[in-house]
C-alpha cells in the first residue's frame, strides 16, 4: 500500500510534469493549456493509486488505467477543430493523451518513465517546426507581401492560399506609414503542396486589391494597377 507521503509526492510530481506540457500548449494559444493538462495528469495519477490500492482486495489494477486511457478521448476530441480543409488541435489532443499516461506512470511510481517521457514530449513540441522545416525544406517558402491597409486584405490572401491547399505555418504583420498612406507588410511562412506552380500564385496575388509588392525569396515584384 502506498503511504501518505508517497501519495503526496506522486500527485505533486504528476502536476509538475503535466503542467510543463500544458505551459507549452498555453504559450501557443491552444484550446487545452496549463490547467487542463495539470488536471488530466494529476487525475490520472490519483486514479492509478486508487487502482493499486484496490488491487490488495483482488481487483485488477489495470482496469482503471485502461478506462482512463480510453476515456481521455472525449476531452481530446474537444480540442480538435476543422477549419476549411485543415484539421487543427490533433497535437493538443495527443498531448492530453500522453499526459494521462504520464499521470498513470507517476501514480504507479514509475518516475523515470514519467520524467523522461515529459522531457521527450517537450523537446519535440518545442522543436517540431524546426525539424519539419529542415526535413521538408523544399516544401516551405517565405513570402513577403506589402499592401494598402484595408479590411479583408489578409482574408483575401488566405482565401487564395486555401484555394490551392497552401498551409500558412506562420504570419507576422508590420504596420508601415508612407506619408499619408497606411500600409501593412505581411510575412508568411507557407507549406506548399508538391509541384506547386509559384508563378501562378504570384499572378493571382497581383490581382488582389491593395497589394503593391510581392517578394518570394530573391524575387521581388512591384504591382502596378490602372
Q: Are strands 86-88 and 81-83 parallel, antiparallel or unpaired?
A: antiparallel
Give the range among 50-54, 70-74, 139-143 with minimum mean pLDDT. Answer: 70-74
> Among 108, 198, 129, 132, which residue's Cα sits nearest to residue 160?
198
Of 42, 43, 59, residue with least CA distance to 51: 59
- Residue 138: alpha-carbon gap to chain centroid: 22
Q: Is the pLDDT of residue 80 over 70?
A: no
Whether 208 shows a pLDDT value over 80: the answer reads: yes
Confidence of residue 196 (pLDDT cuts 50, 70, 90): confident
The domain defined by 137-222 folds into Alpha-Beta Plaits (3.30.70)
Note the pLDDT tens digit of each residue in 85-123: 455 666 777 788 888 889 888 888 889 888 998 998 888
Can you give the residue ranges of every domain in the chain? 4-134, 137-222
Grid coordinates representing 110? Answer: 514509475
Q: Which of the 8 DSSP states describes residue 169?
A: E
Contact 212/191 with Cβ under 8 angstroms?
Answer: no
What is d(CA 97, CA 68) in angstroms, rounded to the nearest whole number? 9
Q: Please tell me the pTM assigned to this model.
A: 0.53
Amino acid at each position: 500500500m502506498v503511504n501518505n507521503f508517497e501519495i503526496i509526492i506522486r500527485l505533486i510530481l504528476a502536476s509538475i510534469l503535466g503542467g510543463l506540457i500544458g505551459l507549452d500548449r498555453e504559450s501557443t494559444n491552444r484550446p487545452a493549456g496549463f490547467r487542463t493538462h495539470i488536471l488530466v495528469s494529476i487525475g490520472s495519477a490519483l486514479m492509478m493509486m486508487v487502482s493499486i490500492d484496490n488491487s490488495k482486495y483482488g481487483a485488477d489494477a489495470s482496469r482503471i488505467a485502461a478506462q482512463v486511457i480510453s476515456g481521455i478521448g472525449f476531452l481530446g476530441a474537444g480540442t480538435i477543430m476543422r477549419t476549411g480543409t485543415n484539421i487543427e488541435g490533433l497535437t493538443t489532443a495527443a498531448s492530453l493523451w500522453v499526459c494521462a499516461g504520464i499521470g498513470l506512470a507517476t501514480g504507479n511510481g514509475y518516475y523515470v518513465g514519467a520524467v523522461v517521457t515529459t522531457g521527450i514530449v517537450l523537446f519535440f513540441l518545442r522543436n517540431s517546426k524546426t525539424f519539419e522545416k529542415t526535413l521538408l525544406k523544399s516544401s516551405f517558402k517565405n513570402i513577403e507581401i506589402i499592401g494598402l491597409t484595408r479590411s479583408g486584405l489578409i482574408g483575401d490572401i488566405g482565401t487564395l492560399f486555401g484555394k490551392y491547399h497552401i498551409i500558412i505555418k506562420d504570419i507576422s504583420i508590420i504596420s508601415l506609414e508612407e506619408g499619408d498612406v497606411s500600409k501593412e507588410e505581411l510575412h508568411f511562412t507557407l507549406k506548399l503542396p508538391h509541384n506547386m506552380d509559384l508563378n501562378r500564385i504570384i499572378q493571382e496575388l497581383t490581382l488582389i486589391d491593395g497589394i503593391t509588392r510581392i517578394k518570394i525569396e530573391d524575387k521581388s515584384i512591384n504591382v502596378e494597377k490602372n
